[in-house]
Structure 1
Amino acid sequence: MNAPNRYELYVIEEGETPVEVIEDTKIPNAATIKILKQDHTLGNMLRAQLLTMPQVLFAGYKVPHPLHPYFILKIQTDGTITPDLVLSEACNQLIGTLSTLESKFKREFSFKEADGGPGAASAAGGAFATSDDPYGTGAGTGGGAGWGNRDDYLDF
């Protein structure tokens, strides 16, 4: 009903600027940055990355309304670097961190497949193997293969 069309939440239309920087006149070395078509996922990651930087005195974000696809990021620095430059530096560091995480994940996943672990057995096309126990409680005492016949971890 009131919710916008899904594509409006992530497609930047012609004439829209994805990032708008507004210098704060009341607080020295501070800026308010409006980032369109993004939500808490990016806002929280940017805030956390900014707070790890020694030049940043304050970093916070808010999503003014859940139906509006943007967030507002406020940054105050110590004056050695401007807020928009520190945001750019934080974005570059965040991209590096995420690419490192992706490569580590892919490497670990390839090791799991090469070792013939549970991921490889499931990928081989079999049914839920009895050696694969998602709760780590052994084979279970339910008596049969399948979820309906096994004891759940909540069964006492």
Structure 2
Amino acid sequence: MPLKDGRYTGPLYRALNPVYAREPLSGRGAELYGGRFNAKGTPALYTALDPTTALREANQVGSLQPTILVSYTADLGPIFDTRDAQSLTRYDVTDTLLADPAWRMKMLDGDKVPTQDLARALIRDGFAGLLIRSFAKGATAADFNIVLWSWTGEGCPLAVVDDEGRLSRM
């Protein structure tokens, strides 16, 4: 599988709202609105291991909206592996909690969001991100995402694949 010694090296994909196309490394949308694994105010990049999963993740509500697919090269770590039951137990987390479809309603209602609490604990413990199964409609057990909280600087290089500078022309 994609992690070796807690690191992920390889391609990643994101389907971006065109509003953020000029800043594909910003994490700004997630910071403004929050997500399953980041509270409002915490930047995050929600990436996928394949383009189809990235498109599913970005268009979970309603019809397909305008989307820009971006590819990255990554060498990231440490990455928390949610497939490891023993690691989940250390953080008092279950597969059911990870998959809870009510996280968004809890966040909107101002309630505690356990997956955001997990993210805060993992950030505190020095993890750059986590590997998590996709819960988007149509995803299978083989579709995975990597959610990143740290993607720049030493030990976490992430680069946009844009050899022709197409994003800067938008």
Q: TM-score range by the shorter chain?
A: under 0.3
Q: With structure 2 as the length reference, what TM-score do the two structures score?
A: 0.23
Question: Which has more radius of gyration?
Answer: 1
Q: With structure 1 as the length reference, what TM-score do the two structures score?
A: 0.25
Q: Could you say which structure has the greater relative contact order, defined with CA pairs below 8 angstroms and 6 or more residues apart?
A: 2
